[in-house]
Amino acid sequence: MITIRPAEERGHANHGWLDSYHSFSFASYYDPNFMGFRHLRVINQDRVAPGMGFGTHPHKDMEIVSYVVEGALEHKDTIGTSSVIRPGEVQRMSAGTGIAHSEYNHSETEPVHFLQIWILPNEKGLKPGYEQKMFADEEKRAQLRLVASGDGRNGSVTIHQNVDLYASLLESGEQVVHNLEPQRHAWVQVIKGQIMLNDLPLKAGDGAAISEENRVAIEATNSVEFLLFDLA
């Protein structure tokens, strides 16, 4: 069973400095039919104006992943991290018992485009932590590159949950296949371009929840970038 979440039906908030689309209920946007999927709680597609950003604010008991598409995102937090996240880099912040952080557009002239992802942790009260790794385009081209996982295998960042997150870049006609184990589910989020997902068309911004399927086949209609979550 595949349920498509069309891009144009997502929640939308434009604050001037921030243009954000919400795949699931977030902040003032509420849809009881889209509260998350499995352990996946938030997928926000954010574009932040030059020099602007999210001031210091707290979180608890959440795994927060940032995936930068274009531009550069500047991060600071109360556990002493100060970094800049660029395209191809994946950031994981474990809020655990409590952390405060800020995210700003590092550039004064160019916008930053990134996906903000929240995943419920497998236990509460974890020690706050931070991890950031680069995954070159070559690692994602024409294949599924594991970028985050529950066990940190293959050089991925470690999420405190039974989730595998893959990123991929495909050119027109290229295909990747992901096999789902029994009782596993998947979410596909298209960042750029258009794909055929098990013969269903998806475009940029679309998401799809996949359950009771053992095979996820993704073929690029044109040049595409997407994420695939394998979820318990």
Helices then strands, each counted (H, E), the chain: 1, 22
CA–CA distance, 216 with 51 (Å, rounded to integer): 40
Can you give the pLDDT at residue 57? Answer: 84
β-pairing, 157-158 with 145-149? Answer: parallel
| pLDDT tens-digit series, residues 123-161 | 999 999 999 999 999 999 999 999 999 999 999 999 999
Q: How many domains does the chain have?
A: 1
Can you give the pLDDT at residue 107? Answer: 87
- Assign 79 a pLDDT band (cuts: 50, 70, 90): confident
Give me the mean pLDDT over the 18-25 stretch.
96
Joined tokens for residue 183: 């009782």
Chain-wide mean pLDDT for the chain? Answer: 94
Give me the mean pLDDT over the 47-70 stretch.
91
Put the strands of the sheet holding 145-149 in their side by side order: 2-5, 207-210, 185-192, 224-231, 163-170, 145-149, 157-158
Give me the mean pLDDT over the 37-46 stretch.
97
Can you give the pLDDT at residue 139? Answer: 97
Give me the mean pLDDT over the 78-89 stretch.
87
Can you give the pLDDT at residue 158? Answer: 97
193: pLDDT strictly greater than 90: yes
pTM to 2 decimals? 0.95
80: pLDDT strictly greater than 80: no
Query: Is the Cβ–Cβ distance between 38 and 122 less than 8 Å?
Result: no
87: pLDDT strictly greater than 80: yes
- CATH number, residue 125: 2.60.120.10
- Note down the domain range covering 145: 2-231
229: pLDDT strictly greater than 80: yes
| pLDDT tens-digit series, residues 155-180 | 999 999 999 999 999 999 999 999 99
